[in-house]
Amino acid sequence: MPIKTIREVIGETLSAEMRRDHDVFLMGEDVAGGAGCSGEDDAFGGAFGTYKGMVGEFGRGRVIDTPISESAFIGAAGGAAATGMRPVVDLMFVDFIGVCFDQIFNQMAKFRYMFGGKSEAPVVILAMVGAGLRAGAQHSQMLHPMLTAVPGLKVVMPSNAYDTKGLLTSAIRDNDPVIVLLHKLLFEASCEVPDEDYQIPFGEAAFTRQGNDVTIVALSSMVHKANAVADKLAAQGIAADVIDPRTTSPLDEEAILESVEVSGRLVVVDEANERCSLAADISSLVADRGFSSLRSGIKKVTAPHTPVPFAPVLEDQYIPSEADIEAAVMAVLKP
């Protein structure tokens, strides 16, 4: 099976969906690049080159470079979706959602419910999340907790290329607004990905490691750290379930509860700021519905309640580390 990176499968999946369904189109700042310029037409292909080649195949009518006007083009995606198109819009860094959040949470996410089920907005918003690039406080946030809290919006957070393809395909075919959050540090992460199309349903977690002693739930890039810790502990005879929910809305609550029922111990790893994080959300779920299975207190491993600092020494300290995860696992395993 071919090995592909997340960056590669995004373009490949989008292109396949655009070939399959003529209503699907891509819009955003510099998704092609070069509009009105003297040089190459396909100069950027998105901030990370994810869409390279697409404007050549589909033309500027379906790969649309926008002015820097997020409220307008994210909102326009909602309007186009409600009237028969299936837009995929690139927000670049998720931090820019501040500019256009009204169009997401007050508009497209509420159409179906507020209009009595008579309208829908099949929009896909792609955005980059996460710290680690020394990009500073306004280019490094996660923000999935805030998005997960919006009824009507679905939130997808793939951790590998295989899942990215299956989840993005589902997102494009889904009839609700979906935001797909891609971790900046994972764009070059690769694994086996089949060429043929497939879907991964939302709300179905993946068990990336299996074991009965402790349950580790981790999201996005944290899945890789959790796996590394699980592998290290396995060598010491400690077997961990590592659960990657893959979508935070809907959330596969049953997978988490069933795992904790066996292990009795839970560590939740989330790069978001601690307060109101997914770690807090999942902890409360288990405290509420899985309390009787717990054999120790729950541990959360999150970023602190601070903005993301610029200085590398501080940013490295800000991001949850393997050592933090291991310490949390050891703490819940203490008799």
Partner 1 sequence: MASKNSKSNAPMSEAEMLASYRVMKTIREFEWRMIKEFEAGNIPGFIHSYDGQEAIATGVCRNLTDSDFIGSTHRGHGHCIAKGCAVPDMMKEIMARSTGLCNGKGGSMHIADFSKGMLGANAIVGGAPPLCVGAALTAKSKNTGAVSVSFTGDGASNQGTVFESMNLAVVLQLPAIFVYENNGYGEATSAAYAVGSKDIAGRAAAFGMPAVKVDGADFFAVHAVAKEAVDRGRNGGGPTAIEASITRFGGHFVGDPQLYRVDGEVETYREELNCLKNFIDRVCTEKWLTLKSLKIIDSEILKLLDAAVIGALAAPHPKPEDLFENVYKSY
Query: Judged by CB under 6 A, does residue 174 bind ligand TPP?
Result: no
User: What phi and psi values does residue 31 have, to the nearest 5 degrees?
Assistant: -70, -25
Query: Judged by CB under 8 A, does residue 317 bind partner 1?
Result: yes
Comparison of 69 and 106: residue with beta carbon closer to partner 1: 69
Query: Judged by CB under 6 A, does residue 101 bind ligand TPP?
Result: no
Measured distance CA(215)–CA(12) in Å, rounded:
34
Which residues in the 85-144 window bind partner 1 by CB under 8 A?
A: 95-96, 98-99, 133-139
Helical H segments across the chain, by residue range: 6-20, 54-58, 70-82, 97-101, 111-114, 144-148, 161-173, 222-235, 253-263, 278-289, 312-318, 322-333
Asked whether 143 and 95 are in contact (CB, 8 A), the reply is yes
Return the residue matching tokens 């120790």: 296
Max CA separation in the chain (angstroms): 68
User: What phi and psi values does residue 318 have, to the nearest 5 degrees?
Assistant: -65, -45
Query: Judged by CB under 8 A, does residue 327 bind partner 1?
Result: no
Which residues in the 59-88 window bind partner 1 by CB under 8 A?
A: 65-72
- Taking each helix axis from N to C end, the angle separating 253-263 and 278-289, rounded to the nearest 10 degrees, works out to 60
Query: Judged by CB under 6 A, does residue 137 bind ligand TPP?
Result: no
Query: Judged by CB under 8 A, does residue 39 bind partner 1?
Result: yes
Q: Select from 13-21, 91-99, 105-113, 114-122 the region that touches ligand TPP (CB under 6 A).
A: 91-99
Q: Select from 182-190, 191-199, 286-294, 301-309 the region that touches partner 1 (CB under 8 A).
A: 301-309
3-state secondary structure of 1: coil
Query: Judged by CB under 8 A, does residue 30 bind partner 1?
Result: yes
139 is catalytic: yes
CB of 99 to partner 1, least distance (A): 7
- Using only C-alpha atoms, the chain has a radius of gyration, in whole angstroms, of 20
Two tokens, residue 133: 């690039």
E strand map for 116-265: 124-129, 154-156, 178-183, 190-192, 206-209, 214-218, 240-244, 247-249
Measured distance CA(217)–CA(211) in Å, rounded:
13
User: What phi and psi values does residue 106 have, to the nearest 5 degrees?
Assistant: -90, -25
User: Which entry of ligand TPP, partner 1, none binds 318, CB below 5 to 8 A by partner kind?
Assistant: partner 1
In one-letter notation, the amino acid at residue 273 is: N
Comparison of 21 and 40: residue with beta carbon closer to partner 1: 40
Query: Judged by CB under 6 A, does residue 99 bind ligand TPP?
Result: yes
Instruction: Kindly tell me which residue out of 318, 320, 326, 332 binds partner 1, with binding defined by CB under 8 A.
Output: 318
User: Which entry of ligand TPP, partner 1, none binds 118, CB below 5 to 8 A by partner kind?
Assistant: none
Instruction: Kindly tell me which residue out of 16, 31, 92, 153 binds ligand TPP, with binding defined by CB under 6 A.
Output: 92
Two tokens, residue 58: 């589909």
User: Which entry of partner 1, ligand TPP, none binds 176, CB below 5 to 8 A by partner kind?
Assistant: none
User: Which entry of ligand TPP, partner 1, none binds 228, CB below 5 to 8 A by partner kind?
Assistant: none
CB of 49 to partner 1, least distance (A): 11
Point out which residues bind ligand TPP (CB under 6 A).
29, 68, 70, 92, 96, 99
